[in-house]
Chain A
Amino acid sequence: MNRVVIVPCSGIGKSYGTVAREGAYVVTEDLRPDTTQLVPLSLLVLGDEQARADVSGAQAITIDGCKLACATKMVAESGGTVAHDLAVLDVYRRHRNLKPAGIAELNKGGQRLAQALAEEVATLVDEMTGEVKNA
């Protein structure tokens, strides 16, 4: 099976966006490097051909930092299938003790929230690829 494409919010200027981006790094670099592929939202927005080709026809998990849901919209516009769309705010509601703050550098709460988000995404990836692992 093709890798699951992970498209996070660009994470520029807002804590919740940064959590989305950091969480995507954790999934694609640490938790599920063999079954996922990170596609930067900024490249999709710029119309980068390789990024659009990676998303087109792929199963994607999007991670949005706010209700504008740019990641989800851009994957759909690029011909990808949004299998799951996560919002950082929803993850925070499940982990109220992990209040994110900071932008260029997240506070401890934000870092732990990014980890929790990454573990949720990893579980979804496993369901999509049929693999069972410990997150």
Chain B
Amino acid sequence: MSEEMLELTVDKFTFRVPKSLYFNDAGIWVRPEGSVARLGLSDFAQQRSGDMAFAEVKPVGTVLKPGDEFASVETIKVNISLPSPVTGALVEVNTELQDAPELINQDPYGKGWFAVVELTDWANDKVRLLDAEAYYALIQRQAEEELEKQ
């Protein structure tokens, strides 16, 4: 099933933002699925970070509050700690990323997902997150700022 997307084109780059997702300002997306939510890295964040060399996700059972590291990635450019956008406990992690971290670059909203969290405070978490339009506006500013630096 294809998702409806917002698309931002800056210079030669195009960044996709699914309309149904929520985001924190670090570019972690949240897809609510009933009492749980799936997490991943946005298209903008993965393109900005570069080719993934390694990805590590905290183990199932890890209890998180917003801002806690739930995963980390090493790319050809940088090492990044990924902060949880929600409160809850990890109930599933994408083990495929260990052998194929390139999935994050190739399919950031699909096979490149990181983890599933059992939500314990979604009502409050949701208030702090950005919807697709707000995240689109954020990355538009960030992309234009980077373009001006060049």
Contact = CB atoms under 8 A, between A and B. Distances in A.
A and B are partners in one complex rather than unrelated chains: yes
B51 A96 contact: no
Interface in A59-101: 66-67, 89, 92-93, 96
B76 A93 contact: no
Q: Which of B53, B54, B76 is packed against the most chain A CB atoms within 10 Å?
A: B76
Contacts of A89: 51, 53, 76
Contacts of A93: 53-54, 101
Contacts of B101: 93
Nearest to A93: B53
A4 B95 CA distance: 38
A100 to B, nearest CB: 9
Q: Which of A14, A89, A92 is packed against the most chain B CB atoms within 10 Å?
A: A89
A92 B54 CA distance: 10
Given A67-B105, A93-B54, 6 more contacts: A67-B51, A89-B51, A89-B53, A89-B76, A92-B53, A93-B101
Interface of A: 14-16, 66-67, 89, 92-93, 96
10 contacts: A15-B76, A16-B76, A66-B76, A67-B51, A67-B105, A89-B76, A92-B53, A93-B54, A93-B101, A96-B54
